[in-house]
Amino acid sequence: MIQGIYPFVNIETGYVPSDHPGIKCENVPMLTHKGIWAAVDGLAARHGLSASGLAKKAGLDPTTFNVSKRISREGKPRWPSTESVAKILDATGSSLGEFVGLVGDDTGSAGPFRIPVIGLAEAGSGGYFDDSGYPVGSGWDEVAFPDINDPAAYALEISGDSMNPVYRDGDIIIVSPAASIRRGDRVVVSTRSGEIMAKQLQRRTARRIELKSLNPDYPDRDLDVREIAWMARIVWSSQ
């Protein structure tokens, strides 16, 4: 249990006493394995973070909440420790009631929609996208997002200062391969040489694509359309 903070809830067994005055227990779902992980993802999304970003914010190892760590090699469910839950609540200024409100049902489907996420710097290393710019492979983490109309949407986590002041280190951007693209939109572009960048679409013709850098300290790009593998619109960011 989360001793000294929320001693009335046993996160690891899902027990919530029916007579606790601080929570309306008729509205509290059983804390199932899938449900509580949905709450961790939901808390991260509420604060514009990936699961790894939430762990870092709480002073935990960045891999603490990785999807790969939620099931053991023997196929047994692994639960987040009560200490780690206490730390993410403290780091985000959230109450246990808010956390429990994010708990999903036995399928983990309540609340936010879960989409794949990876660092923008990693994305260009190959194997993460198909030829049309849709996410593939097993190296993706997941982030919870309230709602999105594109089932192929994915998230990228910004690192470094190359996109300041529009996007800063640690920001999450949501990219939709299905979204239409117009001049002035912010986009993620992949070149056939494997480079992946986030820019603003300045101009597009039958032969050329002009991209404006989000950071004035970095050069704009003017590319032949034959150099472009795919381009997708950024539809949301966590700023």
Map 179-196 to HEC letters: CCCCCCCEEEEEECCCCE
Predicted structure pTM score: 0.56
Distance CA 125, CA 26 (A): 48
For residue 99, give the amino acid letter: F
The size of the chain, in residues, is 239
Ordered structural domains, the chain, with CATH: 25-101 (1.10.260.40), 115-237 (2.10.109.10)
Contact 186, 198 (CB under 8 A): yes
> First-to-last CA distance in the chain?
34
Q: Counting beta carbons within 10 angstroms of the beta carbon of residue 13, is it exposed (0 to 12), middle (13 to 18) or buried (19 or more)?
A: exposed
Q: What is the pLDDT along the chain (239 residues), one digit of tens a residue?
A: 333 334 444 444 444 444 444 444 444 445 688 888 888 888 888 887 888 889 999 999 988 988 778 888 788 888 999 899 999 999 999 888 778 777 754 444 445 567 889 999 888 887 888 888 888 877 888 877 766 667 788 999 998 888 989 998 888 999 998 889 999 999 999 999 989 999 999 999 999 999 999 999 999 999 999 999 999 999 988 76
For residue 211, give the amino acid letter: L
